[in-house]
Amino acid sequence: MRRMTTTFYLLLISELCSLKTAFSNFHFISQKKTHEEAKDYCQRIHTDLATINNVTAMNNLIASVPNNTVRSWIGLELGNVSRWHWAWSTQNLDFLNWRVGEPKGLGRDSCAAIDPQGEWFESECDTQRSFVCHGNSDVPNDYIFVANAKSWRDAQKHCRDLALDLVSVGSAEENKEVRNLTTDPNVWIGLFRDAWRWSDGSQSSFRYWKPQQPNYGNQNCVAAVFKDDGKWNDLNCGSQRTFICQGPSKVSPNTSTTATTPSNNTTNTSAVVPFMSTAASSTPKINSGDVSDTTQFSNITTTGSGFPLTSGNLTLIRENRTWIESLNYCRERHMDLVYVAGQSTQDRVAHMAQHATSSHIWLGLRYTCNFDLWFWSASSADCYQNWSPGQGPGERSYECGITAAMVATGGHTWVGLPETQRLNFICQEDCAR
């Protein structure tokens, strides 16, 4: 059984620099298609419609879409058979402790609770109960009992707000520990039953439903609703919406592909990968050289009326935009906002920043309130840092909506600024060091 305290979880992410937890490779497609057409497109051009495994992946998916997007198809669809899952998608159903006559098969969706004898029973998920949270690590006895009665989903949200989840039980010993921790007679555990499945066949049990969803009817496919923080809604599969693919491109981003729409047999030609958020699966080289070798900066060229300026795989955009607008611009025309993973890239970016028309330039570095963590939009947490004094991890408290910018002059150090400020920015063609 895996347990993790919140503190341990945050330290693990922020302190282990060798850990490269790659974010999922998501691609926003602005065409509108039915769910089946979207799935066909993604399977031909990428891998499949998006599968989401956890809150981190969901946050990354949200960051991969333009900020005016209303809702987009993901890869969750209704199957024919309901199955039991643990809230932690990596926890197998190796141990079950149903009391006699359980589970009863109450409906398409149901949840599990533990009784005073430590036996489990099936229950309507809307029933109000106390619950137990836990972390996903090997730290023993890391349980949090919450006496406030909530529905199963509200209980799960409470746990997730603590960077935990509802408790999974993998042995008789753990079952006893959970039962002995609680003071209420019947308590939620993290076991639930539904018939939803991912189009790529993966077994992720992660769910991120809006309140009162899913409501079924003739609504067998799922979209993320971005005006509601990306929460999910079940919808009619035949409605046409934008969608999100996952996996590497099977064709070049600059290559057009012909997609046939089954409903009207028309041909639709469009550029692939208009929006993308990815951790590099390969590492194409950029000029590293010795940091004192200024020849690597000598190839800066300008276009048109003086912007943009390019140097190798970097492009300085001398237009003032918010951080999100800058991110979307780079993902439409290049790959991502610049990712500074080492001194060589820092030096190249600093040299280009001297040509900016704003006092700072945006970097692809963003603060997440969920985990109190800075992360690169194009990769994972990284060791290299060049923060100004009093800025950066551990130096101060940041509010939500803070992103990183480089000072355009002087020491070219980094500071945290509100993402609504409007600055120049640098786009990058790849995520290499």
Closest CA to 337 of 373, 307, 313: 313
- The residue among 221, 243, 265 that closes a domain is 243
Tell me the mean pLDDT in the region 267-274: 29
- Domain-embedded: residue 250: no
Indicate the range of 168-177, 230-239, 305-314, 391-400 predicted with least confidence. 305-314
Flag whether pLDDT at 7 surpasses 80.
no
Tell me the mean pLDDT in the region 216-242: 93
Selection from 37-41, 143-147, 325-329 with the highest mean pLDDT: 37-41
CATH of the domain at 143: 3.10.100.10
- Domain-embedded: residue 289: no
Number of domains in the chain: 2
Q: Residues 115-157: pLDDT tens digits?
A: 999 999 999 999 999 999 987 655 555 788 999 999 998 999 8
Confidence of residue 8 (pLDDT cuts 50, 70, 90): very low
One domain, residues 300 and 234: no
pLDDT value for 294: 33
- Domain-embedded: residue 236: yes
- Domain-embedded: residue 154: yes
pLDDT greater at residue 211 or residue 244: 244
pLDDT value for 250: 75
Q: Is the whole-model pTM more than 0.75?
A: no
Tell me the mean pLDDT in the region 11-26: 41
- The H or E element spanning position 223 is strand 221-225
**One-letter amino acid for residue 318 of the chain:** R
pLDDT value for 146: 92
- The residue among 184, 219, 243 that closes a domain is 243
Tell me the mean pLDDT in the region 16-25: 38
Closest CA to 368 of 341, 339, 325, 400: 400
Question: In angstroms, rounded to a whole number, what is the distance separating the alpha carbons of residues 32 and 258?
Answer: 15
Give the CA angle between residues 313, 315, 321 to the nearest 5°.
Answer: 140
One domain, residues 218 and 301: no
Indicate the range of 30-44, 132-146, 151-165, 321-335 predicted with least confidence. 132-146
One domain, residues 62 and 173: yes
Flag whether pLDDT at 431 surpasses 70.
no
Question: In angstroms, rounded to a whole number, what is the distance separating the alpha carbons of residues 405 and 362?
Answer: 4
- The H or E element spanning position 173 is helix 172-181
- Domain-embedded: residue 274: no
One domain, residues 327 and 188: no
Tell me the mean pLDDT in the region 234-243: 96
One domain, residues 165 and 306: no
pLDDT greater at residue 305 or residue 142: 142
One domain, residues 166 and 37: yes
pLDDT value for 268: 32
One domain, residues 228 and 319: no
- Domain-embedded: residue 249: no
Q: What is the DSSP letter of 176?
A: H
Confidence of residue 97 (pLDDT cuts 50, 70, 90): very high
One domain, residues 231 and 358: no
- Domain-embedded: residue 43: yes
The domain of 335 spans 294-428
Residue 165, number of CB atoms within 10 A of its CB? 24
DSSP string over 43-79? HHHSSEE----SHHHHHHHHHTS-TT--EEEEEEEEE
* b/e per residue 231-263 (b: at least 16 CB within 10 A): bbbbbebeeebbbbbbbebeeeeeeebebebee
The half-sphere exposure of 10 on its side-chain side, counting CA atoms within 13 A, is 13
Tell me the mean pLDDT in the region 350-363: 91
* b/e per residue 145-162 (b: at least 16 CB within 10 A): ebeeebbbbbbbebbbee
Flag whether pLDDT at 276 surpasses 50.
no
Q: Tokens 């996903």 correspond to what residue?
A: 136
pLDDT greater at residue 194 or residue 141: 194
- Domain-embedded: residue 257: no
Per the prediction, the chain carries an average pLDDT of 78
One domain, residues 83 and 142: yes
One domain, residues 94 and 193: yes
pLDDT more than 90, % of the chain:
38
Tokens in use for 255? 């290559």
Q: What is the DSSP letter of 109?
A: S
One domain, residues 108 and 193: yes
One domain, residues 311 and 203: no
Question: In angstroms, rounded to a whole number, what is the distance separating the alpha carbons of residues 321 and 334?
Answer: 16
Question: In angstroms, rounded to a whole number, what is the distance separating the alpha carbons of residues 426 and 187?
Answer: 52
Flag whether pLDDT at 269 surpasses 60.
no
